[in-house]
């Protein structure tokens, strides 16, 4: 599966699938995100320095939802491409 900018993917799920589009992995606190150069530039020009500020910047016009998730989708905050664990607790077995 091709990696995409997290904002583009939520804002335009079927749009802007240009092959070879450059993505940048950035960190806001403990959260790592993939952003395209355009959305990264908007965040930098807006002076965003935290995940909450980034979520506010890329929120829907009514302000109820953000195009940036609080948590990473792929394996928590693990680096991209690293599969998440099975997710079972020892106490769940049996």
38: helix, strand or coil: helix
Whether 56 maps to a domain, the answer reads yes
Domain region containing 32? 6-76
Whether 66 maps to a domain, the answer reads yes
Whether 33 maps to a domain, the answer reads yes
pTM value is: 0.67
pLDDT per position as a tens digit, 33-43: 989 999 999 99
Answer for the pair 40, 12: CB distance below 8 angstroms, yes or no. Answer: no
Residue 32 scores a pLDDT above 60: yes
Whether 85 maps to a domain, the answer reads no
Whether 50 maps to a domain, the answer reads yes
């Amino acid at each position: 599966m091709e990696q995409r900018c997290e904002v583009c993917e939520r804002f335009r799920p079927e749009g802007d699938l240009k092959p070879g589009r450059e993505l940048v992995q950035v960190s806001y606190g403990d959260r790592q995100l993939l952003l395209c150069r355009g959305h990264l530039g908007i965040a930098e020009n807006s002076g965003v320095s935290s995940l909450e500020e980034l979520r506010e910047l890329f929120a829907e016009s009514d302000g109820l939802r953000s195009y940036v998730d609080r948590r990473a989708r792929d394996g928590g905050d693990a680096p991209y491409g690293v599969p998440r664990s099975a997710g079972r607790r020892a106490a769940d077995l049996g």
